[in-house]
Structure 1
Amino acid sequence: RRITINKDTKVPNACLFTINKEDHTLGNIIKSQLLKDPQVLFAGYKVPHPLEHKIIIRVQTTPDYSPQEAFTNAITDLISELSLLEERFRVR
């Protein structure tokens, strides 16, 4: 599977998203987008080992907002922003 989701048992209302075959490039973009959401209390990522091509993103949200919803919204917003950027490059 490309993305696996695990509940974080140490922290309330938090999840770990493991994305395979990705690195710092995508991890940092997703983390930055998540932190723009006022209902996201924490967002961070790590690459477990330099030879492993995967990232683990940890997301904690307010009690009335699920980490999965925050992650989905962040990805949707990123797709919109990148589509707009691509469109602007094609115009020139």
Structure 2
Amino acid sequence: MNAPPRFELFVLEDDQSILEVTEDTKIPNAATFKIHKQDHTLGNMLRAQLLATPQILFAGYKTPHPLHPHFLLKIQTDGSLTPAAALEAAATRLIGAISSLEAKFRREFSFKDTDAGAAGINLGSMGMGPGEDPYGGAGGATWGAQRDYLDF
């Protein structure tokens, strides 16, 4: 098979940095960032965060080849901030958004541990019996013991 070993897709070598910056000499206020050991997941999220900033004129990414674990991110600004500063701000906002999503996810799954009947929820109106959990488990059972929320 032509694919490299899996660990080469995400483990940095000792002398390898995660980010390389190349200033663009033909386009004003533009730079290309080569981000190693990442793929479309991070590239698309960074691009979306960058395009949400009004000072960004262009933001795009590409993966040169599927077997090479890096992508190129091109950023052009209006000159009020540097492309590196724009990337740093976008990464900071992205970390905040993911942290917020994680907190909401953990909060929703903490509701599974509470008793639905004690919260005053009428399970009969949702088509469930008195001992059935709205999240798919059997009232008080641990995850995986019977059904989980993905079982329909």
Alignment match, 1:85: 101
Structure with higher RCO (Cα < 8 A, 6+ apart)? 1
Matches within 5 A, 1:1-92: 1-92=17-108
Task: Please give the per-residue CA displacement for 1:6-65, whole angstroms capped at 9, x wherever unaligned.
Answer: 101221100111100111111111001100000000000000111111000000001121
Q: Which runs of 5+ in 1 are unaligned?
A: none
- Say which SS state the counterpart of residue 57 (structure 1) adopts: strand
Root mean square deviation, CA, Å: 0.7
Q: Number of residues paired by the alignment?
A: 92
Q: TM-score, normalised by structure 1?
A: 0.96
Q: TM-score, normalised by structure 2?
A: 0.59
- Say which SS state the counterpart of residue 9 (structure 1) adopts: coil
**Distance in structure 1 (CA, Å) of the matches to 2:40 and 2:74:** 14
Question: For the pair shown, which has the larger CA radius of gyration, 1 or 2?
Answer: 2
Q: CA deviation at 1:82?
A: 0.3
- Say which SS state the counterpart of residue 105 (structure 2) adopts: helix
Question: Is the helix fraction higher in 1 or 2?
Answer: 1
**Distance in structure 2 (CA, Å) of the matches to 1:82 and 1:70:** 18
* % identity of equivalent residues: 47
Question: Is the strand fraction higher in 1 or 2?
Answer: 1
- Say which SS state the counterpart of residue 58 (structure 2) adopts: strand
**Distance in structure 2 (CA, Å) of the matches to 1:85 and 1:9:** 39
